[in-house]
Structure 1
Amino acid sequence: MTSGLTATRPDSEFDRDIAVARSGDGFAGTFSDGWRVGGGINGGFQLSLLGNAIRAALPAHPDPIAVSAYYITPAVAGPVTVAVRPQRVGGRTATVAADLVQGEDTRLTVLATYGDLDAFPTDDVRTTAEPIDLPPRDQCVPNTMAPDEVKQMAPFTQRFEMLFHPDEVGWAVGKPSGIGQISAWFRLADGREPDPLALLMAVDALPPVTFDLGLPGWAPTVELSAHVRAKPAPGWLRLRHRTRNVAGGMFEEDCEVWDSTDRLVAQSRQLALLPR
């Protein structure tokens, strides 16, 4: 027997597409082709749908705090199932393991800590991190300027608005800087405000930072660790991807996500294979 679960905002494309329903001992959902990049569904979007299943399994611990994800095989559009296995459920946090499966193939396996971010102190912030400095949005370069063939190859990029730092888009015209950094303003295209589940997608939303090294193409993620530090305030997010070490056919990609109040709300690091 399958029972439906209410989406966060039913009129939002993002919420409709990460919706899951209880099915047997797990949860069922569907990957829409609109979240595809090349031949596979974007890894951050996969995390958001899987994260929604964990939220449904742990109603007292609704928010992702720390997520470590291993990408086993590329996910494609179509039905998915998510098995959630609580490892420890405490008063403040819960630790769970979860697998996302299509047919007989495991696409993604995760170990995660969930909690209620509203129950954590919000005024205790001691940081040396500096907010991402981006020019005003009307001076940045919109993702809508991408060629039609790119939009068709990666419809995922049309699910949101990205406004790139004008000094960091040389890769788009064959003039990468070689620094290994890409920054942009970010919000979902339908205006849905950010929340912790959307942050799981945001940390993997920008083009691979290898584009700025003159290495375009799909960069398969091996492992991604994401930390959600606070619920984001309404408004635009600012994202930045950086890399410092390319070696052995792999690179790391560090991401920071800042909200409209200059709060660092999410961080991630992923290890990925260099584009072929």
Structure 2
Amino acid sequence: MLQLVILSGRSGSGKSTALDQLEDAGFYCVDNIPIQLLPFLPDALKGKYSRIALNLDIRNISDWQQDLSNIITQLKSVADVVVVYMDSSNQSLLKRYSETRRVHPLSLMQAGLSLEEAIVEEGDLLRPIREMSDLFIDTSELSIHDLNKIITNKVLNKKAGHLRLVFQSFGFKFGIPTDADYVFDARFLPNPHWDENLRPLTGLDRPVQEFLKQHDEVQAFIDKISSCIEDWLPMLEQNNRSYVTVAIGCTGGKHRSVYVTESLGWYFASRHSDVAIVHREQNKHDK
């Protein structure tokens, strides 16, 4: 079946970077295709390409908002479609436009519209496609390297037609992941940080793992989360979900959350066909 990735989101959120990565991975990429041509795309490219990525932006979505949902539903009947919505905070977008000195597309389309007004209005106009998206990526605090990792883990490595189960560790002091479907707080568990020998290590290192294994409440926490996910996973699959992201947080995203996330990921990898493990703060601790 044809694999079709549809990228959308506010201007400046990183769609072009994501599209470039998909192209490097072998996708046939089309930037800003007219929406009225979307229904004809599978037949037009049949036999030529098996993986296609599209970038839809405000320049053509605004006139086709009412039809977009029906068009995507139609495409999902003939292709494995994943809609990825990318966004960033207003402050981040303002900063990026200030640095590049580019003109916002809506400012070109509507005379007299300030940059800040254009950013807010674009979010309102794109709300319908955001609400129908399968994957939401907040790029406010992401480097290009971070974004590339997310695209790799959640899009490129996703098995066509399967629900991808993502287990992600994070640090509460860096903020809760905006794409998380379920969030569990591991900060009550024994903290290896207070052991000077374990402090420089992470939950990927055996000494930290052995420390946490000694405490029954750690395994009990893992078992409770596993049971919860196992109970609801069949219903999530029946609901045609493309992704479910389970986020585990501790203070810094270095020890406890990493160990719990690894344990959950390996447990479900033996039971579910499409599992990914992501450690959001890993780059911070590698420095």
Report TM bin, short chain. under 0.3
Q: TM-score, normalised by structure 2?
A: 0.27
Structure number having the greater strand percentage: 1
